[in-house]
Structure 1
């Protein structure tokens, strides 16, 4: 009799725990996730932001002109902060991102790393103009079309700085 009661109690406890587990998952507020386009934007811009940071750090080391070196230093500061914010947003929204540089970005980094002192500033600025044009375009699209309000607001917040980076890169490249 005692083992039958113990078995019945164990089964009841197990059933109650299972019911509580399913009920708590079913009644919990849904996690604020991103749609496929928003996830793609986050992943693309995390990769681009990480690459721009590494390239800017290289610019700090290799730039010959003082104005190019100062620009690279500003990029390091701004992109470090932007990358922190975007990574935090990705984590909050459940988006897994990679810290590994994409092959395309790695190729550009290696090209700049191998550039001679005479050519580095020109090639660095060319890359910054190209990268920031694409970045501004992506951020304008996200600021307009992102489905997630947090992501949309973040993209809108970042646009003025990115446009300023692009304008400054163009100005320096024209010298």
Structure 2
């Protein structure tokens, strides 16, 4: 009889443990992606900020080669410097949250960059600055939204860079206005 009670206790404990593990897994599944320490919104912020930064750096490298306009090349220099620093912060955040980010520009952006690289002169300058204005509008919104993130580390990056992204947008608009 005693062995039946012991077996019953073991079964009850095992079922309770299995239920507890299942409950934790379900909660984690609702809050996190499969292997990261962020939910879908956090994952989107990290990956979008990272990929946009790569694209802006590559576009700005092209601008340094293809533009003869001093305002455009000065803006490109600022983009390379600032987005390299931002990229380091986002990469650090990605590592902290176990988010895998790409090492190269995505295919869609590569097509845009290839098209941009074929342009020269005023046509290039207008296309590059339009890309920068559009990209920074999206980035400004992304960073603004994530200043309210549930994750302290994401909030810190968004807070630290939000004003700089807005400044980039304003500078891009000024250069754009001077090209008309």
The DSSP-based 3-state class of the residue aligned with 2:125 is helix
Where in structure 1 do 4 or more consecutive aligned residues deviate above 2 Å?
A: none
Q: Distance in 1 between matches of 2:106 and 2:56?
A: 12
1:117 Cα deviation from its structure 2 partner: 2.2
1:74 Cα deviation from its structure 2 partner: 0.7
1:167 partnered with 2:170: yes
The correspondence for 1:107, drawn from 103, 106, 111, is: 111
Unaligned runs of 5+ residues in structure 2 are 1-34
1:104 Cα deviation from its structure 2 partner: 2.0
- The answer to whether the 8 Å contact 1:39/1:95 transfers is yes
Unaligned runs of 5+ residues in structure 1 are 1-30
The DSSP-based 3-state class of the residue aligned with 1:98 is coil
1:66 Cα deviation from its structure 2 partner: 0.6
Aligned to 1:132: 136
- The answer to whether the 8 Å contact 2:66/2:120 transfers is no
The count of corresponding residues between Structure 1 and Structure 2 is 144
TM-score (norm 1): 0.78
- The answer to whether the 8 Å contact 1:41/1:138 transfers is yes
CA-based RMSD: 1.5
TM-score (norm 2): 0.76
The DSSP-based 3-state class of the residue aligned with 1:34 is coil
What does 1:82-121 correspond to in 2, within 5 Å?
Answer: 82-121=86-125
1:60 partnered with 2:64: yes
Aligned to 1:50: 54
- The answer to whether the 8 Å contact 1:43/1:97 transfers is yes
Q: Distance in 2 between matches of 1:78 and 1:167?
A: 15
Q: Distance in 2 between matches of 1:139 and 1:126?
A: 20
1:158 partnered with 2:161: yes
1:167 Cα deviation from its structure 2 partner: 0.2
